[in-house]
C-alpha cells in the first residue's frame, strides 16, 4: 500500500497550496491530511481483514460437508474475531485531535500512528495467509483445529497491537 499521507501531500490542489502560506493554516491542513490518510488506511486494513470472512465461509462449508463438525465452532469464532477486530479498526479514534478535544495528539505521535497503521497491513496479510492455509488441512480435523487456533492468535495479536495504538493516542505509551 502506497504511503497515503505522502500521496495526499503530493495531490494538494492550487487553492490548498496557496492557503498553506497563511500562518497557522498549513499546520491545520497537514493535520487534516493526516486525519484523512489515517481514515483511509484504517478502512483499507479493516476491509482486507473482512475479505477473509468469505473465504472462511467456504472452509466452513467444506468442513461441514466432510462431517468435521467439531471444527465449525472454531471457525465461527474466527469469523466473529474478524468482525470484532475489523470493526474496532474501522471505528477507532482518528489520528488527529481538534482544538477543543480533551486528548491532544502531538505531531510526532501522528507520524508514529501513521507508521503503526502501515505495519498493521503486514499483520493483516499474515492473518490472511494463515487463513488461506486452512484448506490445505481439509480432511484432517486436528490440523484444521490447530490452524484455526493459530489464526485466532494472529487476530488476537492484531487486536493487541490496536490497543497499543489507542495507548499512543491517549499519550500513555
Tens digit of each residue's pLDDT (9 = 90 or more) over 61-99:
888 888 888 889 999 999 999 999 999 888 876 544 444
pTM over 0.85: no
Three-state secondary structure readout of 9-57: HHCCCHHHHHHCCCCCHHHHHHHHHHHHHHHHHHHHHHHHHHHHHHHHH
Give mean pLDDT, residues 136-156.
85
Higher pLDDT, 1 or 39: 39
Model confidence pLDDT, tens digit, residues 31-54: 677 677 778 888 888 999 999 998
In this structure, the number of other CB atoms found within 10 A of the CB of residue 112 comes to: 17
Measured CA to CA, the distance from residue 143 to residue 136 in angstroms comes to 9
Residue matched to cell numbers 503503526: 116
- The CB-based long-range contact list for 91-99 (8 Å cut-off, 24+ gap) reads 92/42, 92/162, 92/165, 92/166, 93/166, 93/169, 94/35, 94/38, 94/39, 95/34, 95/35, 95/38, 95/169, 96/31, 96/32, 96/34, 96/35, 96/38
State residue 82's pLDDT score: 93
- As a residue count, the chain comes to 173
Domains of the chain: 39-170 (1.20.930)
DSSP 99: T
At 158, the pLDDT band (50, 70, 90 cuts) reads confident
Amino acid at each position: 500500500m502506497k504511503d497515503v499521507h505522502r500521496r495526499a501531500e503530493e495531490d494538494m490542489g492550487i487553492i490548498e497550496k496557496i492557503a498553506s502560506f497563511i500562518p497557522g493554516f498549513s499546520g491545520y491542513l497537514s493535520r487534516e491530511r493526516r486525519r484523512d490518510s489515517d481514515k483511509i488506511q484504517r478502512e483499507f486494513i479493516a476491509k482486507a481483514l473482512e475479505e477473509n470472512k468469505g473465504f472462511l465461509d467456504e472452509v466452513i462449508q467444506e468442513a461441514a460437508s466432510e462431517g468435521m463438525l467439531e471444527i465449525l465452532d472454531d471457525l465461527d469464532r474466527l469469523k466473529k474475531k474478524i468482525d470484532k477486530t475489523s470493526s474496532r479498526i474501522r471505528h477507532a479514534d482518528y489520528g488527529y485531535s481538534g482544538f477543543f478535544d480533551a486528548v491532544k495528539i502531538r505531531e510526532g505521535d501522528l507520524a508514529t500512528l501513521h507508521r503503526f497503521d502501515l505495519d498493521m497491513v503486514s499483520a493483516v496479510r499474515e492473518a490472511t495467509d494463515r487463513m488461506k492455509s486452512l484448506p490445505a488441512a481439509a480432511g484432517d480435523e486436528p490440523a484444521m483445529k490447530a490452524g484455526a487456533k493459530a489464526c485466532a492468535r494472529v487476530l488476537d495479536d492484531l487486536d493487541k497491537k490496536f490497543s497499543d495504538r489507542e495507548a499512543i493516542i491517549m499519550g500513555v505509551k
